[in-house]
Structure 1
Amino acid sequence: MYLFCPVCGNLLTVEEGPSCKRFACNTCPYVQNITQKVASYTFPRLKEVDDVLGGAAAWENVDNTDEKCPKCSHPKAYFMQIQTRSADEPMTTFYKCCSPSCSHRWKE
């Protein structure tokens, strides 16, 4: 949680006062005693795997292989390889179950 000075608009800092902690402005004489716990949490929305891989169209022209689905045990799966890390690391292989009723996705 960021608190801004109501006088000049600069970011307030926390400092130890004579009897308590307080918010203080570095550019003007504004101070405000802290009387209660101040906390704020913001969690970012994580991207879906489809957003990163290009959506449903990314799976249209891919090959299949003899990889067993861990969810339904179907013997075939579509696959594609993408370089997700630095060039000296191996490529990441993404799989999608060939069974239309399952369509489970996993990576290796």
Structure 2
Amino acid sequence: MSAFKTPDQLYEKLKAAWSSESSGVWSLDNPARGQCSVTSLVVQDAFGGEILKTWTKGGTHFYNMIDGVRWDLTVSQFDYPIPFEDLPSNRDEAMADTSPRQYEALKARLQM
């Protein structure tokens, strides 16, 4: 069972947990930058659901669908509206966009 009751509660913890250890393009002024794939994995760990993707100017963007509701906890990284194509994805595809080291680092900072 997840230590987080809602995605909103997890989001509050993520804002402090994102770091250069969980994304090579992280920055203090844009902490969600480059965190989408690793975040989609920990969101799925906590709440189940599906990992989805869409295409943006910067490449593939990952987010989650939980109980029929889209949750994009890293959308704040964008300074422009993005399309939500809700294309099916999976853990393997999201992991290929991050690394096991980055995934474990984020889980450790979240105490998961």
Q: Which has the higher helix share?
A: 2
TM-score with structure 2 length normalisation? Answer: 0.21
Structure (1/2) with the larger strand percentage: 1
Could you tell me the TM-score, scaled by structure 1's length?
Answer: 0.21
Higher alpha-carbon Rg: 1
Where relative contact order (Cα < 8 A, 6+ residues apart) is larger, the structure is 2
